[in-house]
Structure 1
């Protein structure tokens, strides 16, 4: 196989192509009892990969044949870029928080949405996949796409891994932000660690129909219904249409808040395992349509398992890096991890809503290297990507498979 590795001097765009895998199929608390060990507050302990265990965030996880997390990736755990004041990811998160806080107020003047941005990125496989109805044979579970501490514990691949536990705790409206981890190539628009923010809102029968004439005669659920492209089998069409309207209105307002009142938007039908119907929201940016988030009506089975079977709800998820790269003209996703003061000081503003245009740090051209080598049968491309990251770090701009050849002997 021939891989081309391009080493750049910090001068380049993101987001996981169209947030392509916004969750590969998941909008993409590691302790004995994850639901009781959610926060990463407390001392930040240095992670260690030992011969028999992985030490991370004050806990020890036994190694097994699934363990594939690397020292470089563990070194990113606990950085909390989205909570670092005046970091561009923090600015985007705060802009979204401010919008929801000001736009959705309860009857007593309190914010409707609570915010959770400090949950541990170590989760169980059950949290990351099973709780979201992702099938056992789904390709998104492959070790080649995820970072496993062992067969039962992993670094979350999406913030949705916490959805069920937050709903089970009694929350009906919340925002969730955090770092997520996916084994992937590394280039100007992809990185194995990035940040997501998502929202969930649930409605009771009264909340959904209270403003509808004769709403007392309407119901969220029906018996003997069937699944169609427009609704789930247990939902009434009236309920789904109202939830869908509220979801699209909420997200259109959010995108207008971020991009400006003159932004063009459109909705595209899509598929996620944990919502139906599901949609992607696209905005017209610099002449092209660009996907910025995924969303949909939550699968009722998910709500039933979380103890909220009497409610119906929506959820959405977006990538913070993608939005920051667009809104601040940041050309390279790896810049978010920079400690360079020339980068960080550009985002120290008095008002989080203030427009910012990133100024490049380097004028040096790229250096390209071609590497060819023989491979064993068990080799996967991500094995090589991890090796490159370990040796070259964030200086490696892009690694691409150019050609492969199988010798007849």
Structure 2
């Protein structure tokens, strides 16, 4: 349910703040760059293109791969491990990632002005539909099936930076658990009520209508369950700590951090589900918790996989290491590529009076370069006294399957240069 990438989708980037003001690159540049003129075909449906459309052919080409369902992929093994751990929970699969705005935002109490709704962060199919940015987009569907404990695993889509740990498509698992007045966890403590009968005051530690004693019990149940779950998946008693967090759909909320490679890293988000969210699903007498965890981040630690792009490869040298394995097998990935990086920089003056968003450029580079792109980042930016703005990007090219030549990379790099010059009207430095 909750974002495992340290709130990347909620980050207050300059481009997002500008996007809130309504600025964006021209529709013509978007359409010609991303390849869709009138409609886009996704799975079995066609969707009309409009001014909100910002998905790319590269992203669309990855829809339907369903790595978490493909035997031989480490994400499948991890998904099976999760299913076995939560064996008493209902398990849901939603193959189509296209959802409406209500499912992705409104049903989760995400405000209209929240930065996660901006085109800078979310892939819009058009003004009415997006590619789900979290598995929580299906939370209402699961609740309406009268499930009181469920797990949902799916591919999710976000516009983000490019490096070894981030990809425009990744996979997320959501676990959700409800409790009522007669739940054993409450009855065993002599409690037969979930809600306060008076003093409906929201505090840092509870929602308006929740009994503090009940919240404390559910919090303890949740944290104990999650800690055991993570230790089970990582095969060790790894150091952990809980950090208070904020999410629109839970209160109170926490992130779990683990100590890995001499550093604390956030591994998942969790919290007590907002009661209004449950009421909107027709559930009035329960309290519950939810967690959201990214499969790639967990699998990279579990199997010691260094690059997120490897999950998408069809290289038999990679897949053969996992194809005959069981979900409980302790596997350490053996590197299949020692090919060197090729690094190219690109510098240009931004077009004046046109909003520039880094994520637009990242998507363009990924769309042209595909899986040859290992990383893109801004390494320099400045503004002259006359108001001219300059950006320099470093693009790192590398294939896990073969050695790249400078000549073939230069062809791709020149394509990127030509596009931003001809379509986005930048001036090369």
- Which category of TM-score, normalised to the shorter sequence, fits these structures? 0.7 to 0.9
Question: Is 2:64–2:95's contact at 8 Å kept on the other side of the alignment?
Answer: no
Say which of 342, 367, 379 aligns to 2:317: 342
Question: Which residue is equivalent to 1:271?
Answer: 246
**What is the match of residue 343 of structure 2?**
368
Higher relative contact order (CA 8 A, sep 6+): 1
Secondary structure of the equivalent of 1:93? helix
Q: What is the Cα deviation at residue 261 of structure 1? A: 4.7
Q: Which runs of 5 or more structure 1 residues have no equivalent in the other structure?
A: 1-16, 26-47, 102-110
After TM superposition, give the deviation of residue 303 of structure 1 in Å. Answer: 0.3
User: TM-score, length-normalised on structure 1?
Assistant: 0.84
RMSD between aligned residues: 1.9
Which of 69, 74, 99 is residue 88 of structure 1 equivalent to? 74
Residue 349 of structure 1: how far off its partner (Å): 3.3
Corresponding position: 1:20 with 2:6: yes
Q: Quickly say closer, same or farther: Cα 1:68–1:261, change in 2 above 3 A.
A: closer
2:112 matches 1:136: yes
Which piece of structure 1 moves more, 199-208 or 134-143? Answer: 199-208
Assess if the C-alpha contact under 8 Å between 2:175 and 2:292 holds in 1: yes
Equivalences for residues 202-213 of structure 1 within 5 A: 202-207=178-183, 210-213=186-189
Give the SS at the match of 1:205.
coil
Alpha-carbon spacing, 1:296–1:208, altered in 2? closer, same or farther (3 Å): farther
SS state at 2:10 partner:
coil
Shift of 1:92: 0.8
Deviation at 1:358, TM superposition (A): 1.0
| Equivalent position to 2:360, from 378, 383, 395 | 383
- The reply on whether 1:396 has 2:412 as its aligned counterpart is no
Distance in 2 of aligned mates of 1:124 and 1:143: 15
Q: Deviations over 1:197-250 (max 9, x none)?
A: 01001111111555334333x333434321111100010111111111111111
Greater shift, 51-60 or 207-216, is seen at 207-216
Aligned position for 1:298: 273
SS at match of 2:284: coil
SS of aligned partner of 1:206: coil
Number of equivalences: 360
Residue 162 of structure 1: which of 138, 161, 184 is its match?
Answer: 138
Aligned: 1:260 with 2:246: no
TM-score computed with the length of structure 2 as normaliser: 0.80
Corresponding residue for residue 49 of structure 2:
63
For the 8 Å contact 1:145–1:183, the answer to whether it is kept is: yes
Residue 372 of structure 1 deviates from its aligned partner by: 0.9
1:133 to partner: Cα distance: 0.6
Question: Offset of 1:366 from its aligned partner?
Answer: 1.3
1:79 counterpart (40, 65, 71): 65
Contact 2:240 2:256 in 1 (8 A): yes
Distance 1:167 1:222 in 2: 26
Match for residue 206 of structure 2? 231
2:164 to 188, 202, 206: 188
Deviation at 1:23, TM superposition (A): 5.3
Equivalent position SS for 1:143: coil
Deviation at 1:283, TM superposition (A): 1.9
Superposed displacement of residue 327, structure 1: 0.9
> Which region of structure 1 is more displaced relative to structure 2, 260-269 or 187-196?
260-269
The answer to whether residue 331 in structure 2 is matched with residue 356 in structure 1 is yes
Distance in 1 separating the partners of 2:245 and 2:268? 11
Q: Distance in 1 between matches of 2:357 and 2:194?
A: 51
Determine if contact 1:174/1:200 at 8 Å carries over to the other structure: yes
Offset of residue 18 of structure 1: 6.5
Counterpart in the other structure of 1:313: 288
Instruction: Kindly indicate whether residue 128 of structure 2 is the aligned counterpart of residue 148 of structure 1.
Output: no
Query: Is contact 1:202–1:314 with CA below 8 Å preserved after alignment?
Result: yes
